[in-house]
Amino acid sequence: MKLDSLPGGVSATTQATAPLDSSQAVTGNYYYGELYYVKVRCILGTSSDRKLLGWLGLGSKDGYSSYIDPNATPPHDRVLAVQWVGLATDATPPDREQPSHDAAQASTPKYLRALNYPGGARFLGGSGNDGFYCYWQEGDGKGGPGGTYELTLIPVPDSNEFLVRRYSDNGPVYTYDDYYMGYWKSGNEFEITFEFIPTASFSAKHENWMGDHNATIGARHLSEIVIPGSHDAGCSQIRRTLGNVTSQTQGLEIYDQLMAGSRYFDLRAWQDTDNIWKIYHGKDWSTVTLQDAVDQLSTFLEKHPREVVMASLLLEDQPGVFDSKLKAAWELVFDKLHPYHLNSEDQNGSPRDFSRLTPNFLQSLGKNLLLFSWGQAQSWTYTNSANQQILASPWSSGPGTHMDLDGVFLDDAAATAQDIYGAYQNYTRPQGACWILHTNTPWQFKLAADSLYAKHFRNTPPLVAYFKSGSIARPKANIINIDYVGDVVNGSNLVEAVIMSNL
């Protein structure tokens, strides 16, 4: 099994098959989740005493599941990229339901599918007497699991790992014969844990792309640079069961999205019943707090002064509102990010000249961040906890401002890459202002089992082709909003294609 690589020897995730056909997914009522590589460990004594065995993959005997070389880094021969497949019986987002993400993971039986299994995707099932051996089985031939095993997960405390159970009999997964895995313990076998790591974590990094290409883009206005962005940037984990179908938009945390090359962040927060501001999507809670997002942005901005980042903030679905409650959330943001942010007004209340904003100009001021409000913004001064006077002055967005956040967005779950491109062609961009091309499409009832990841998987390769051919390019293209930043689909990395279109 040969896995592709990007230029420069950086490995890219490769899926050997592409069965995420919308009609099959809906007809069978199965959703298809994000892709992971899985670290396999065993519990030697107590749950805190665990040993790394390797990566979940294909054993030397055809079809048998095993753990591969603990010193390897995926992608790697015989290490499999897997995804959860399940029944989307009720994917309806509730009114701010608040179970924990781990509880949602543990409570839902689902199937584990290896998408890059040689010769076609297979599911983790069993073989031998009573299905004793863990075995990669063929599904029903239509992308569904057929007669393979439903699995459930039990969170391991104080870790990112899960115990794996066969749903039919709650049978644990154990080591077997120092190499394979089984659903039965006869002697000194050890129970196994799985840690699911997004495949995007192993794709190419573009940590310093703006600084590295400063000679080309440094003097360009921000509206003249093609910039990868993160749609609903804080939604890498959704608390509700099946939130991964309807509302999960990212696989990486915000800092890792920055490292992958994203430079625009769509942030939306709501104050929870515990008074903590938390990221949300629609009516679904993320596990990420607004403070988490701010801290990760701050860490990156401090380390990367030549990388210019833009972010927009929507609070409680109230664009343009700056009452005392919402101002408190903005102040949480400015407390940490004000050293990097160029305010829209100066200390005298005079508006800044947006037309001067280039990477070089921002660098000359020691700034590398712009924060945008949804709708008209306000400016005010407050005293922070360190008794500093802070001017909070975000930038406005909307008609007649410096940012068109709506730009091109197709509110249609069935929209294809070709539809997105057609809308892009018909859009008239604002002169001298930034604008967003949204490459994401929404979840809707009419395609209830069609997960946001499945849409990303289908649309990414043709969208990359539009960038590589120059069909989507400067001087029209600007901010490109992306789901699953850093994820590579059959060798197609949309973030990378966007960056390269500047050169």
Q: What average pLDDT does the segment 36-48 reach?
A: 88
Q: What is the pLDDT of residues 43-87, one digit of tens each?
A: 987 767 899 999 999 987 778 999 999 999 999 889 999 999 998
3-state DSSP helix/strand/coil % of the chain, to nearest 5? 25, 30, 45
User: Are 228 and 261 within 8 A, CB to CB?
Assistant: yes
Q: Please write the tens of the pLDDT for every residue from 458-475.
A: 999 999 999 999 999 999
This prediction has a pTM of 0.91
Number of helical H runs and strand E runs in the chain: 12, 26
Residue 96 has pLDDT above 70, yes or no: no
- Whole-number Å distance between alpha carbons of 182 and 101: 27
Q: How far is Cα 248 from Cα 137, in angstroms, rounded to an integer?
A: 28
Residue 129 — very low, low, confident or very high, per pLDDT cuts 50/70/90? low
Residues 148, 111 contacting (CB under 8 angstroms): yes
DSSP assignment of 230-274 equals: ETTTT-SSBSSTTHHHHT---SS-HHHHHHHT--EEEEEEEE-TT
**263 vs 268: CA distance, rounded Å:** 16
Which residue from 245, 152, 272, 310 is spatially nearest to 453, judged by alpha carbons? 245
User: Please, which pLDDT band fits residue 4 given cuts at 50, 70 and 90?
Assistant: very low
Instruction: Pick the closest to residue 490 from 121, 116, 15 (CA basis).
Output: 15
Q: For residue 85, what is the enclosing H or E element?
A: strand 82-87
Q: Which two tokens stand for residue 38?
A: 């899985």
Q: How confident is the model at residue 1 (pLDDT cuts 50, 70, 90)?
A: very low
311-363 pLDDT, tens digit per residue, is 999 999 999 999 999 999 999 999 999 999 999 999 999 999 999 999 999 99
Q: What is the pLDDT of residue 276?
A: 97
pLDDT reported for residue 151: 94
φ, ψ (nearest 5 deg) of residue 301: -60, -35
Token representation of residue 430: 């604002």
75: preceding bond cis by omega (within 30 degrees): yes
What pLDDT was estimated at residue 132? 83
Query: What is the tens place of the pLDDT at every residue in 360-392?
Result: 999 999 999 999 999 999 999 999 989 999 999
The beta strands (E) that lie in 192-234 are given as 192-198, 227-230
Return the structure tokens found at 219.
Answer: 């003097």
Strand partners, 155: 162
Q: Is pLDDT of 5 > 50?
A: no
Q: How far apart are CA 369 and CA 263, in angstroms?
A: 10
Q: Which two tokens stand for residue 114?
A: 């290896």
In the predicted model, is pLDDT for residue 7 greater than 80? no
